[in-house]
Amino acid sequence: MSWQRVLALMLRIVRQFRRDKRTLALILVVPVLVLSLLGYIYRGSGEPTRLAVVLEGDSPLARQVLALLEETSSLQVIVMEREPALQAVDRREVDGVLVLPALPVQPGTQPEVELILEGSQPSAAGAIAGAVSRALPQAIIQTMSPSGQAIQIEPRFLHGGPQFDQLDYFAPTFIGFFAFFFVFLLTSVSFLRERLQGSIERLIVSPLDRREIVLGYMLGFTLFATVQSIVMVIFTVAVLRIHYAGELWLVVFLTFLMTVGAVNLGIFLSAFARTELQVVQFIPIVITPQGLLSGIIWPVDSLPRPLQWLAQALPLTWANEALRAVMIRGEGLDALGLHLAVLIGFAAAMAALAMVTLRREVA
């Protein structure tokens, strides 16, 4: 094992990378763009859901319900007559119509509240149904209770906080995902090129041994992946103001472990591709399942059982859990023994596979 040779290989990869401005932009700018977009989606003010309210009679309770709905920030409430309101929802000008009878009705009868939802957009329908079903009981309590006081719930958060949103939940895992994705893609493409242009043969007959090749590649690519994860950490903290609870170097460290696995997986799988298009064909096999099942968007617990088992077999699932533990709950390395073991085991297994494919290179 000669470090001079490992460094020579690493230096070459770094040089090729620096020369390739587009790829450099890809790994540094694209993650930032995607995060910005997500930030805008989750934090920017979109079109509010529109609800038409029809008051069939005047009563304190109906007015109270209306007032509560108007306070709901995600709803735009418009008071209308019954007929125009029904036409409006039919033409999809509003997302729903709430018809409030003269509340309260006689004791012993049910108040007949009508709710008509446009329904083709589940999130709008859900927002209206949720707001209405919160407002009604609240209004009843407020109008009935002698003091007119509502019941206030002050939640106490163990982790996160009242300002904690979806973006805070996603951001830590995106850092790991992007590192894994790009490093896998870039390694497999550049290793394939090495084969196509024949330079791999020069390496094989040189004093470089397989461990040195794997190590050189690993150092070269993880260097860029580490830079990428540092850029993402800085961006999410400084610009997106993600509510991180833990230590940021742990994010970079966990990402590093993932990329070591990704480099070796790339070397291994590139042996099964003959063209660059065939490398791209690995994305749906290697990347997509991990993107969907590893808990980035849908928590693993919420998946159907068989998919949970599958998710447990994916390295990214463990990386994501660890990243969330660190960044949302502020846990340290000591709490992540199992996760670290799985990630290191994955990296070691992939390195072993990469070595096997390199051995086959002397046919």
Partner 1 sequence: MDATIVADEVSRTFGPVRAIDRLTLEIPPGVIYGLLGPSGSGKTTFLRMVVGALRPTEGRLLVLGRTMPDRAVAGQIGYMPQTAALYPDLTLRENLAFFGRIYGLRGRKLEDRVEQLVNDLGLLGWVDQPLYRFSSGMLQRASLACALLHQPELLVLDEPTVGLDPVLRRSLWAHFRQLAEQGKTLLISTHTMDEADRCDLLGFLRGGRLLASDTPAALRLQTGQADLEDAFLALAGQPGIPVGEP
Contacts with partner 1 by CB under 8 A lie at 2, 4-5, 7-9, 11-12, 15-16, 19-20, 197-199, 201-209, 362-363
CB 67 within 8 A of CB 22: no
Could you tell me the smallest distance in angstroms from the CB atom of residue 351 to partner 1? Answer: 19
Of 158 and 362, nearer to partner 1 (C-beta) is: 362
How far is C-alpha 114 from the chain's CA centre?
A: 38
Beta bridge partner(s), residue 281: none
Could you tell me the smallest distance in angstroms from the CB atom of residue 224 to partner 1? Answer: 15
Of 54 and 208, nearer to partner 1 (C-beta) is: 208
Of 27 and 124, nearer to partner 1 (C-beta) is: 27
Could you tell me the smallest distance in angstroms from the CB atom of residue 270 to partner 1? Answer: 16
CA distance 259 to 222: 6
Q: Count the alpha carbons within 13 Å of 5 in the hemisphere toward its beta carbon.
A: 14
Of 145 and 275, nearer to partner 1 (C-beta) is: 275
Of 134 and 274, nearer to partner 1 (C-beta) is: 274
Of 202 and 274, nearer to partner 1 (C-beta) is: 202
Token pair 């309590």: residue: 141
Could you tell me the smallest distance in angstroms from the CB atom of residue 123 to partner 1? Answer: 47
Of 8 and 344, nearer to partner 1 (C-beta) is: 8
Could you tell me the smallest distance in angstroms from the CB atom of residue 231 to partner 1? Answer: 23
CA distance 350 to 214: 10
CA distance 357 to 13: 20
**Residue 18 in tokens:** 């620096």
Could you tell me the smallest distance in angstroms from the CB atom of residue 354 to partner 1? Answer: 18
Of 198 and 306, nearer to partner 1 (C-beta) is: 198
Paired sense of beta strands 75-79 and 49-55, if any = parallel
Of 202 and 241, nearer to partner 1 (C-beta) is: 202
Could you tell me the smallest distance in angstroms from the CB atom of residue 203 to partner 1? Answer: 8
Could you tell me the smallest distance in angstroms from the CB atom of residue 16 to partner 1? Answer: 5
Of 28 and 204, nearer to partner 1 (C-beta) is: 204
CA distance 9 to 326: 34
Could you tell me the smallest distance in angstroms from the CB atom of residue 332 to partner 1? Answer: 40
Beta-carbon contacts of residue 10 (< 8 Å; ≥ 6 apart):
216, 219, 220, 223
Could you tell me the smallest distance in angstroms from the CB atom of residue 212 to partner 1? Answer: 9
